[in-house]
Amino acid sequence: MLRFEHAPKGEWQDVSQEDWQDWRWQLKHRLTRLTDLEGRIELSEDERKGALLAQTRLAMAITPYFFNLIDKNDPECPIRRQVIPRIQELERAPHELDDPCGEDAHSPVPGLVHRYPDRVLLLVTDRCAAYCRYCTRSRMVSGNDEGGVFRPQVDQALDYIRAHPEIRDVLISGGDPLLWTDAKLDRLLGRLREIEHVQFVRIGSRIPVFLPQRITPGLVDVLRKHHPFWLSIHMNHPMEATAEVKEACGRLADAGIPIGNQTVLLRGVNDQLPVMRELLHRLLAMRVRPYYIYQCDPIRGTAHLKTTVQAGIELMQGLRGHTSGYAVPNYVIDAPGGGGKIPINPQYVEELTEERVVLRNYEGRIFTYEQGQAVT
């Protein structure tokens, strides 16, 4: 079931290798309408209605490359679940929100979120190569007009960062910043680098996974100019770990760019331990360090993709100690209302007193660490 070789061209077998490897060709040929799916894949009634309605809400867009990873014979294919809309997206449970992480309330400038004391999130675009159906920013991405049109104010955001010397870390995201041209990215990174107190710059992007063709040698040359530069990618299932992605990550890693991965815990995608373990191992093989596993945000219309926190904790328990420490990410909930990322850990401390700590190891065995004489 799991693939690790070049994706087959399938439906597009008449396309030249050159076009297929061209990221602009991939963008131009994205599947964005119900009629693009019809004839290529058999849709359920829920998906058909979902694809129709996606034009009025969070848009549908799937690159041919990513669409080709779908197992067409599996109606519950984990790739399919991430990018093909279902009518359930229109349902809203009472606890579900449009802005689940409370970003708008922490936004001093449109497109800038200043939640933590020493770092900011800079949203530079509302467009992505493809749209994840559980998008935490579905209120503003893809040009849908629900929350008004999103117009990032990059100049104003840079002024704000300049005026706040406590900001030492800028996370550029969106939308997907790597949709910008090389020249535009170069300029933005250069302007950030000119700010003395900004020590650390990173981009959050799913493009290495949705559109690995974008990671051209030219782009990598631009990014490496601005070291220390880090990248967070977003991979959810081992089927996404293709030869193309491995090549793209290899190019980035060769340029000295440390790569982390963020995974969203999704029902029917990666909520089973063997699947998650396989994903994490494949990331390590691509020189990508698993960084976060997110509990799915309580975003409107995602109930069909959510798992329980109990299931997430159990998953973490099945990882720690059972596999390489480097393969074990932090499991977090981005707290509704703007509390930030809060770690959710299995309980390993059974008892903690001034004298000792009683610990449970990964096998469930109990150990005691004596603190000795407390220093007073």
Ligand X SMILES: *Cc1c(COP(=O)(O)O)cnc(C)c1O
Report in angstroms how near the CB of residue 138 gets to ligand X at its nearest: 15
* Whether the Cβ atoms of residue 244 and residue 7 lie closer than 8 Å to each other: yes
Report in angstroms how near the CB of residue 329 gets to ligand X at its nearest: 11
Closest CA to 127 of 246, 211, 38, 243: 211
Of 3-11, 112-120, 317-325, 356-364, the segment contacting ligand X by CB under 6 A is 112-120
Please pick, from the candidates 48, 71, 116, 284, the single residue that binds ligand X as defined by CB under 6 A: 116
- Phi-psi label, residue 364: left if phi above 0, alpha if psi -120 to 50, beta otherwise: left
Q: Does 12 bind ligand X (CB under 6 A)?
A: no
Q: Which of residues 341-370 bind ligand X (CB under 6 A)?
A: 341
Catalytic site positions = 115-116, 119, 128, 132, 135, 137, 297, 334, 341
Please pick, from the candidates 33, 119, 193, 289, the single residue that binds ligand X as defined by CB under 6 A: 119
CA 113/CA 111 separation, integer angstroms: 7
Q: Does 161 bind ligand X (CB under 6 A)?
A: no
Q: Does 115 bind ligand X (CB under 6 A)?
A: yes
**Per-residue binder mask for ligand X (CB under 6 A), 292-311, x = binder:** --------------------
Residue 75: CB atoms within 10 Å: 13
* Whether the Cβ atoms of residue 169 and residue 203 lie closer than 8 Å to each other: no
Element (H, E) at 37: helix 34-37
Question: What is the identity of the amino acid at 39?
Answer: G
Please pick, from the candidates 51, 128, 171, 201, the single residue that binds ligand X as defined by CB under 6 A: 171
Report in angstroms how near the CB of residue 123 gets to ligand X at its nearest: 10
* Cα angle 175, 27, 189; round to 5: 45
Closest CA to 243 of 69, 41, 73: 69
Of 34-42, 116-124, 183-191, 349-357, the segment contacting ligand X by CB under 6 A is 116-124
3-state DSSP call for residue 364? Answer: coil
Residue 278: CB atoms within 10 Å: 18
Closest CA to 59 of 126, 144, 129, 137: 144
Q: Does 327 bind ligand X (CB under 6 A)?
A: no
3-state DSSP call for residue 282? Answer: helix
Of 110-118, 150-158, 265-273, 349-357, the segment contacting ligand X by CB under 6 A is 110-118
Closest CA to 240 of 276, 272, 271, 267: 276
* Whether the Cβ atoms of residue 137 and residue 58 lie closer than 8 Å to each other: no
Query: Which of 72/119 has CB closer to ligand X?
Result: 119
Of 46-54, 114-122, 159-167, 280-288, the segment contacting ligand X by CB under 6 A is 114-122
Q: Does 168 bind ligand X (CB under 6 A)?
A: no
In sequence order, the β-bridge partners of residue 263 are 293
Q: Does 137 bind ligand X (CB under 6 A)?
A: no
Q: Does 121 bind ligand X (CB under 6 A)?
A: yes
Query: Which of 34/121 has CB closer to ligand X?
Result: 121
Q: Does 251 bind ligand X (CB under 6 A)?
A: no
- The binding site for ligand X (CB under 6 A) comprises 113, 115-116, 119, 121, 171, 341
